[in-house]
Amino acid sequence: MSTIRLLLADDQALVRGALAALLDLEPDLDVVAQVGRGDEVLAAARAARCDVALLDVEMPGEDGIAAAASLAAGYPRCRSLIVTTFGRPGYLRRALDAGASGFVVKDTPADQLADAVRRVHAGLRVIDPDLAVASLTVGDSPLTERERDVLLAAASGGTVADVARATHLSEGTVRNYLSSAIGKTGARTRAEAARLAQEHGWL
């Protein structure tokens, strides 16, 4: 039986350890690399000759969706499976667009997670069924790339001037993008627009 070599990427060491312990119980799965930052994924996967990378979404350095894109471009023999607490429909769409082969939530039972790894390794696509339905219901993000950038910068609560500095745009342009994003999300304020966009996984 050939062994599937795995990389685990999660910024919480406890979660990584628990996942490693569960997956190492499977005779055909071997956790050969672990990292706590998204920007370490590509180098670690190459160095350990990994077959499948299990990626959390929210990590320092680079999020899991960006790490999946890096793997798809720089080391395509290693397939990526997003394993996250944040089952947001927009994340699913963005992850698949970035080249991820699968998307499951962290409370997936261990045997189902192991099966998901095997299916991704075999070239199949694995998607949490509840999330797939939610993704179809919510639809694609209505935000443009610029609106997303501005809303992301505004989410921390800074002034329009702060957002303008962070995004290298004029204050008038920032106001226009924020106004458009508020309209598209159906929100009343930019804080509500940012919250709604985050809940849908559009940011």
Angle between helices 171-185 and 160-167 (to 10 degrees): 100
What's the token pair of residue 67? 């790490």
How confident is the model at residue 202, as a pLDDT? 84
Low-confidence ranges of the chain (pLDDT < 70): 1, 134-139
Burial class of residue 108 in the structure, from the number of CB atoms within 10 Å of its CB (0-12 exposed, 13-18 middle, 19+ buried): middle
Rounded Cα distance, 46 and 32, in Å: 11
What's this model's pTM, rounded to 2 decimal places? 0.70
How confident is the model at residue 156, as a pLDDT? 80
How confident is the model at residue 22, as a pLDDT? 92
Residue type, 172: G
Q: In the sheet that 126-127 helps form, which strands lie side by side, from edge to edge?
A: 29-35, 4-9, 52-55, 79-84, 102-105, 126-127
DSSP string spanning 53-100? EEE-SS-SSS-HHHHHHHHHHH-TTSEEEEEES---HHHHHHHHHTT-
Domains of the chain: 4-138 (3.40.50.2300), 145-199 (1.10.10.10)
Rounded Cα distance, 59 and 66, in Å: 10
pLDDT tens digits along 154-203 = 888 788 999 999 899 999 999 989 988 888 888 888 888 888 888 877 87
How many degrees, rounded to 5, is the angle at CA 169 between CA 185 and CA 179? 25
Rounded Cα distance, 80 and 187, in Å: 34
How confident is the model at residue 184, as a pLDDT? 85
Rounded Cα distance, 133 and 118, in Å: 23
The answer to whether 61 and 94 have CB atoms below 8 angstroms apart is: no
How confident is the model at residue 144, as a pLDDT? 87
